[in-house]
A and B are shown apart, each in its own frame.
Chain A
Amino acid sequence: MLGYLVNRLLFTVFVALGISFFAFVLLHFIPGDPAQLLADQWATKEHIEALRKQWGLDKPLFTQFAIFMMNLCRGNLGTSIASGRPVAQEIVARLPNTMILALAGTLIGVVSGLGAGILSGCRPYSLQDELTMFLALFGVSLPPFWFGLMLMWLFAVKWRVLPSSGAGTLAHLVLPAFTLGIGIAAVIARQTRASMLDVLRQPYIVTAYAKGLKESVVVCQHALRNALIPIITVTGLIFGRLLGGSVVVETVFGWPGLGRFLVEAIFTRDYPVIRGALLIFGLTFAFVNLIVDLTYGVIDPRIKYA
């Protein structure tokens, strides 16, 4: 078990290196110069060159990468070009917001998705099942930015019951979390139903019924546990999708999260921020995957990590 853990942690480090290098190479080819974008209209060539020098942009690519890696080992993610603040500080200011949104969305998604999926799975091919699955298909097909805008129009413009953008109160969280949550609920509902169906066909379930156990007991104690495994895989993938999907939702609702920050940094060519944010996203995803895999081991004692 320990060996597996070490292996995976090493892999996470490898992922981090890979992402950093990938980002570095990519950024080198983007047209656009942050010095030019930030300096005012009348800046002279000499001034822009001086700014580039100040931000270390005049050095060759490998030197920049080496400096970045050295700083990284010391825990320094660099300094944002646009704001002059340490990238780490900027990320720390925003990452919790993305996490809150992701968690709220996941909560909504998991609760409604699991519930709908279990109900459907227990009564396959009934009217309720067909309806729920059709709704789930809807949820999976909805473009989040469109859905978010429609919700915003309805609740914030027409009916004025919720704020349209920004963050700060629970009310602000409702619309963006719901927009995210619907898509997730849909995926979880479908997966839950599928694995419930798989499990409910198993012989030991029939035995449980034969023993005279009530349906709720059968479902909760026996079926669910085994159905959970594929659901957990999907949840892991979903979390990754959340991080990405939040980019769009954050933009629509002006939610001050990391996704939106990354997109803005790309537009202003704030290289240190882009690198830092991509790194954090990648690491978070790898980390979540690790947790998911370990959770397998807890739920299914048959899985051992050599």
Chain B
Amino acid sequence: MSWLKIVVTLCLTASLGLGALGEAPRYGGTLIIGLGTDIPIFDAVYCSGIPNLGIIHLVSQGLTVINPTGGEPKVLPGLAVAWEQSSDDPRVWIFHLRQGVKFHDGTPFNAEAVKFNIERMIDPATGALARSSFAMIQAVEVVDEYTVKIITDVPFAALPAQLAYAPLAMDSPTQVQKLGNKNYYTDPKGTGPFKFVHHIRGQEVLLVANEEYWDGRPYLDAIRVKPIPDTASRLMALEAGDIHVAYHVPPRDAKRYIEHPELGITVLTPPPQRRMFIGLNVQWGPFKDVRVRQALNYAVDKEAIVENIFMGLTKPMDSPLPPTSLCYVPAKYYEYNPGEAKRLLAEAGYPDGFEVTLYYGPGRYLLDTEVVEAVQAYLAQVGIKVKVVPLEWAAFQAKLRKSLEETDVQMFFIGWGLPTLDPELGIGPFSKNAWPPGLNSMFYFNPEVEELIVQQRAATDPSQRCQIVRKIQELVMEDAPFIALYYEPQIHAVRNEVRDLVISVTEQIDELRIRYTWLEK
């Protein structure tokens, strides 16, 4: 059903075209966004959840921003306009900042502010939730008012992309010092197109336009964000007009909106970055043999899953990196071939298959139960008896993070997002130092891959880096420490009155384009 994809593309192009056809944007209106989560705390340092952080970024922006289309260049200028890696010392990156920008409280945005915010993130005393993701930063030096030097412990090619990672945001040092770390969330002041008004937990966040925004006053007067965790209610609110934007729409409802344009709702499908797979504990029993792991990959019909469960709105997984990532190549695709699967299993000594347990945490990912049960059915056809054990998410996470000696995990269904679109975070976890309590619950270890990961991190030449990453992708797909399934589609819906709203590949509302979003009527 890739006709659906064609229709979606046509619709988007058409609406873009219509937008271009001389409909002038108008000022005014309040955009109401329906999120599936309630923002826990309005401070990027302590907030979890990328869509939540996206809202915070409308107030406190990032130094760099990931290209919302996932295309080239991957990293766009945000509050930093240009950057380069020092040729003398590859551990040093120099960032040139945007000039003439002020925080909402009047404090000027400059190198001192950048230093303050990065130090706030990496200081253990702050207790930032994403501290480890910025732990490679050793020091920040102010060169002059608009130039900053960031020094990493080892040469780090991915730094500009890493700085776009949502938990890092530029907040007014004056305000942070005035309110203190723990209370800053009560009245944050950033540089963004919208200013914070209030956050009533469980009910709404209210933001108003920043008249002095550095890119010009936004078209919208205000933005309201409402948490509506129940999907059915969220969609009802969208159709009734109570909200303009609904985050995370199930594929069937998206299909309905596309087939019934009279409902007045447009479907947005930003490109995917979350890799969905069944992790295999490569240290356990049959999974020690690569032939068995490959057999499992041949046994599952990913095309069918993509077509029937996700209505063709995504594509099967053919690399440990998503298609939107830097250096992505379609490394290896295991087409549906149960005959080959059985042959490999027999060759490895399991002609009659075996029993295995699969853990997952239902409700976390789009249609996860449907996918898990489909996989169970496919594996049964080649003689693998899968016992599916659903666990509450917290218990599931606890299980995944157990060390090799303690773990009883054999198979697990998980998704790995890649908000920086960079191989550093994308294939970094396929190494031994990411073993639990790290991400690598497959206990995968390939010395060659290990070496290549270190090399790509230090590479200063982008094309050379991509060559190294290409090799890594091919090796990992060949080793198959997982059953590669698909990339999780991102599906959102907006009412037709909303124009020029861009939701990024990272799942955030694009902080640079929001100022151009406007409301009809």
Contact = CB atoms under 8 A, between A and B. Distances in A.
* A adjacent to B, CB under 8 Å: yes
Interface of A: 30-34, 36-48, 50-51, 54, 82-85, 90, 93-94, 152, 156-157, 160, 163-168, 251-254, 256, 261, 267-269
A165 B230 contact: yes
Interface string B492-518: 000000000000000000000000000
Contacts of B392: 32, 267
Contacts of A164: 232-233, 236-237, 240
B40 A157 contact: no
Contacts of B288: none
Interface in B381-416: 392-395, 397-399, 401, 416
In this complex, the member of B202, B229, B416, B429 whose beta carbon has the largest number of chain A beta carbons within 10 angstroms is B202
B133 interface: yes
A268 to B, nearest CB: 7
B229 A254 contact: yes
B155 to A, nearest CB: 19
B133 A42 contact: yes
B40 A165 contact: no
Contact of A44 (B43, B132, B202, B237): B132
Given A45-B437, A165-B230, A85 B41 contact: yes
B377 interface: no
B130 interface: yes
A274 to B, nearest CB: 12
Nearest to A168: B203
Q: Which 6 A-B pairs have the closest CB atoms?
A: A32-B394, A165-B233, A256-B202, A164-B236, A47-B132, A44-B132
A269 B131 CA distance: 21
A40 B203 contact: no
B167 A40 contact: yes
Contacts of B124: 50
B425 interface: yes
B185 interface: yes
A44 B200 CA distance: 32
B342 interface: no
A251 B232 CA distance: 12
Nearest to B234: A165
Given A42-B439, A163-B240, A252 B395 contact: no
Contacts of B130: 39-40, 43
B353 to A, nearest CB: 30
Given A36-B398, A163-B237, A168-B203, A42 B132 contact: yes
Contact of A38 (B129, B135, B182, B237): B129
8 contacts: A34-B394, A36-B437, A40-B129, A54-B127, A152-B233, A165-B234, A166-B233, A261-B202
Contact of B242 (A47, A163, A268): A163
Contact of B397 (A36, A157, A256): A36
B299 interface: no
B276 interface: no
A163 B394 CA distance: 32
B226 interface: yes
A229 to B, nearest CB: 39
Nearest to A82: B40
A32 B226 contact: no
A83 B201 contact: yes
B48 interface: yes
A166 to B, nearest CB: 7
B108 interface: no
A39 B129 contact: yes
Contacts of B131: 43, 47, 50
Among A34, A43, A48, A54, max chain B CB count under 10 A is at: A43
Contact of B438 (A34, A44, A165): A44
Contacts of B135: 44, 47
Contacts of A45: 437-438
Nearest to B233: A165
Interface string B308-351: 00000000000000000000000000000000000000000000
A239 B237 CA distance: 31
Contacts of B185: 84
Nearest to B182: A84
A76 to B, nearest CB: 15
B417 interface: yes
Given A43-B132, A163-B237, 6 more contacts: A39-B130, A41-B416, A42-B438, A164-B236, A165-B234, A251-B230
Contact of B41 (A40, A46, A84, A251): A84
A36 B130 CA distance: 11
Contacts of B428: 42
Contact of A254 (B41, B228, B395, B437): B228
B236 A93 contact: no
A34 B393 CA distance: 11
A41 B135 CA distance: 14
B116 interface: no
A188 B138 CA distance: 68
B429 A42 contact: yes
A271 to B, nearest CB: 11
Nearest to A43: B132
Contact of A84 (B46, B226, B233, B397): B46
Interface in B118-133: 124, 127, 129-133
Nearest to B393: A267
B493 to A, nearest CB: 16
Nearest to A260: B202
A165 B397 contact: no
A252 B228 CA distance: 11
A84 B39 CA distance: 12
Contact of B394 (A93, A152, A165, A268): A268
A254 B201 contact: no
A32 B397 contact: yes
A43 B437 CA distance: 9
B230 A42 contact: no
B104 to A, nearest CB: 21
A39 B43 CA distance: 14
Contacts of B242: 163, 166
Contacts of B129: 38-40, 43, 51
Looking at B200, B234, B394, the one whose CB has the most chain A CB atoms below 10 A away is B394
B236 A50 contact: no
B237 A165 contact: yes
Nearest to A35: B129
Contacts of A157: 236
A113 B237 CA distance: 33
Nearest to A49: B437
A172 to B, nearest CB: 10
